[in-house]
Amino acid sequence: MKLKDITSIIIYLSIFLSIFLINVSSARDTDKLKNSFIIIHQDGANGVKKLCDDNAIKYKFREDLTGIINGCSLIFENNNDIEKVKKLPGIIKCYPNNLHSEFRVLFSDDITGVANAQKINNLSGKGVKIAIIDNGVDYKHPALGGCFGTGCKISFGFDLVGSGDVYNPIPDNDPLETCNGHGTHITGIIAAEDKVFNFTGVAPKATIGMYRINVCNDATTDDLILKALQLAEAEKVDVINLSIGTPFASWSETPVSLAVSRLSNNGITVIVAAPNNGATGLFSSGSPDSSINVITVGSVENTKFLSYYLLTSCCTDRKIIYTTTQVTLRYNVNTLGPLKLVLSNNSSNPENDACSPLQGNFTGSYVLIRRGGCLFTPKNLNAEAAGALGVIFYNNDDTQPFALDVSGTNIPSAFISKADGEFLVGLILDPSNLGRSITVRFPNDTIVVTNLVSGLPSVSSSWGPTFEMDLKPDILAPGGRIFSTYPTFLNSYATLSGTSLSAAYASGVTALYIENLKIRGISSLKKNPKQIRDIFTYTSSPIKMTGFRMPYSTAKQGGGIVNIENAIKMTTLISPGRFALNDTVRANYTQTFTITNIGKQTVKYQMSHIPAVSVRGFFNNVLASQTNLIYDSFSSQVTFSTVKVTLRPQQTEKITITIKPPSQLKAKDLGLFSGYIGVKDCSTNQLHTIPYLGLKGDLSDIPVLSPLPGQPFVATFNGTHPQTDLVQSAVFTLANLGESNSDSPSLYYVLGFGSRRVQVTLINSQTNKEVGVIYDSTFLGRNGDVVGFDQHIFDWFGFIGNTLVPDGSYRFIIKILKTYGNFNRSRDVITWTSPKIIIDL
């Protein structure tokens, strides 16, 4: 069915990528580009190629990455050749070429200071170059200039995928977006100038470039991201916007993380979206958002938003707002109606509603289904199988995200609130309505809705800190329910949600700040990414947590909501702009910072401590989900070397603070404590707030290998999920290797926390002698689902190097490095030995 051509239509989509996918996804070796590696050599790409050629190693060359990480990416004819390459002279580091599938998808300007920056300070981003790395842009959109190239708003860029895909790219010079809408939406947030709805992006006069790195919803790869970064640097951009990454891989040493840190060191401000995995609780950051020198941006809810609504036949004065999906987008739910609305069953609040095939014939009707018991997709499929025209889901718990995730179905769906759903259930079950149908229709109209959680951190926005206890995110920016441009072939406009939008907003804010630097001309303020991050952090506005008279933990909000008005008018330079205190064992609770008066008048400063809510999220040896976190008003004690200081223009003073963690937090609970060091400019009453974060206890006490029952285990490979668990031993013939019915073993394990290194060796079960290393990987992320549906999977097809093992009885030994451990110290390594694996060829 084709999209109806409706001018100026707004499709309301709410994308919280990965929240609803966590329970069905697992990290297996196929999450890497097959046989492909990124290799760093002292002589760059040429050094790698020469080594391979000299040693008769067959390969296909992918990308020259000398300019960004002094290396390249290759695809080996044999995956085991990488072990040979690692041992060759001049090799510095080898990484698997990971696949990245998570894109971290303007009333809010009054809470960020953007409106005043544009109107009062006349800032527009003019003269600032921003590179966006995404899935392309519909530059034909009138609000985005309608053209591409010199003289256009979208003036530069490149398509690294072209008419091919990420596995076989055919690059070209045209970064036009062909589907999805993600890149077009964030481009509009940064720089749109729209005449239809009369809105502008944050920095409407900035010069924009787009580097297209994937096709539609497909994944992309490390090397394509790195190549895009390299091209952006060559273009001499001021800002890079990146909103794709690997969830839960909260390390700063991955190839992309290292590259963006290097770009920051070289003067390019890199803005990275935090993941959308807040529902999984603490330590849900990823890569490259955990990179040390970037500005990592989480999401805060918009103040108001545009929404479609539905009407019932009985109560046309009650407009019920709904969210929908791209499936619905393609089938135009808003043009349908009136349609009969029925319940999937006659219960008022059914558990597991529509998780099983529906009983009865629902042809020609819309089905009202309660959330819960299973994912949205199987519910939708069951309704479709029963003949329904579509589905209206209603929430079972309004503390859960107001977001819908449905895929692989042919009927549209909408999602409404718990209160509205129960209202519709009551209408249908009302005895006075027996014998007459309740119908619904979906007008092609929108209303402005006040967001009831306006200005609060988005539920979906991920928590820090990183696995190395760095303080992330750095700041928050509007990302919940943001209106912006969408491809013209997808009806031109959309309201979306996600941290991608927050990063785009922050990129626009950065452009305004850099433009203002040129205007102010203060020598001590420079286009220095670290300084910009510090200034954004301590001039942001911390958000107070509902039910507490204290701010949210800095692990959720960093410095708070970015405020460009505060950033451009401040006359106080503070360094550093945050304190990551680590855990109790490794902490330094005595810290220093400097205050410099960069204004023209003498200023008196007053120091203070603003404690934030403490958070506990480690119970029964596993990290808890966000809904099970425990918040406390426990606060640290802070002493200052001085609480008052007077500084003449250009004078600097060093302040020493000592932080004492809350005594109420117990080390065994591994709770997070945080807060802000206040520095008040008494002449303007502007309060600067420096965030800090620490952990009470020893982080290495968190079990890296999950203690869940039945984990790890070995099972028969079938390409997706285990068929049979292995108890004592099992026989494998290694038939159909690599196929979905391969008779080969797979190792399943759950990481409760990230590990710097995981190695699997094969031993002879009769002699216990090592046969060889069959898997060795670094910087692995934790699994997102605490109940074990999300797993790491290693598939073994019977080879040691390039040699197939002979018949025999073997075992896997998996070695997992503990937090802060040394792989060469046995006490720092967790070891698990599998049951017997009998190979019978």
CA 326/CA 344 separation, integer angstroms? 23
The torsion angles phi and psi of 243, rounded to 5 degrees, stand at: -135, 45
Domain coordinates in residue numbering, the chain: 9-303+451-570, 304-450, 578-702, 713-839
> For residue 9, what pLDDT is reported?
28
Sites in the chain below the pLDDT cut of 50:
1-25, 30, 104-106, 327-331, 719-724, 788
In a 3-state reduction of DSSP, which class is residue 607?
Answer: strand
**pLDDT tens digit string along 726-754?**
556 678 888 777 676 678 888 889 899 99
Which residue among the candidates 14, 18, 500, 541 is catalytic per the annotation? 500
**DSSP structure class, residue 88:** S
Domains 578-702 and 713-839 share a fold: yes
> For residue 401, what pLDDT is reported?
57
CA 375/CA 404 separation, integer angstroms? 10
Which residue among the candidates 100, 141, 182, 688 is catalytic per the annotation? 182
**DSSP structure class, residue 670:** T
- The answer to whether 212 and 168 are in contact (CB under 8 A) is no
Q: Is 182 one of the catalytic residues? A: yes
Pick the CATH number of 9-303+451-570 from 3.40.50.970, 3.40.50.200, 3.40.50.2300, 3.30.470.20: 3.40.50.200
Per-residue tokens: 734 = 């290694």
Beta strands in 125-283 (DSSP E): 129-134, 154-159, 207-212, 220-221, 239-242, 244-245, 269-273
- Taking every pair of Cα atoms in the chain, the longest distance, rounded to a whole number of angstroms, is 86
Which residue among the candidates 64, 81, 134, 583 is catalytic per the annotation? 134
In a 3-state reduction of DSSP, which class is residue 685?
Answer: coil
Among residues 98, 103, 69, 72, the alpha carbon closest in space to that of 85 is found at 72
> For residue 629, what pLDDT is reported?
95
> For residue 719, what pLDDT is reported?
45
- The DSSP element (H or E) to which 771 belongs, if any, is strand 770-780
CA 779/CA 800 separation, integer angstroms? 23
CA 573/CA 595 separation, integer angstroms? 6
Report the predicted TM-score, pTM, of the whole model to 2 decimal places: 0.87
Which CATH architecture is the domain 578-702 placed in? Answer: Sandwich (2.60)
> For residue 694, what pLDDT is reported?
97
List Cβ neighbours of 316 (8 Å cut-off, separation of 6 or more). none
CATH 2.60.40.4070 is right for the domain spanning 713-839: yes
**pLDDT tens digit string along 98-110?**
877 555 444 555 7
CA 516/CA 525 separation, integer angstroms? 10
Beta strands in 201-303 (DSSP E): 207-212, 220-221, 239-242, 244-245, 269-273, 295-301
Among residues 20, 24, 14, 22, the alpha carbon closest in space to that of 721 is found at 24
> For residue 724, what pLDDT is reported?
47
> For residue 5, what pLDDT is reported?
27
CA 795/CA 1 separation, integer angstroms? 40
CA 148/CA 517 separation, integer angstroms? 28
> For residue 505, what pLDDT is reported?
96
CATH code given to domain 304-450: 3.50.30.30
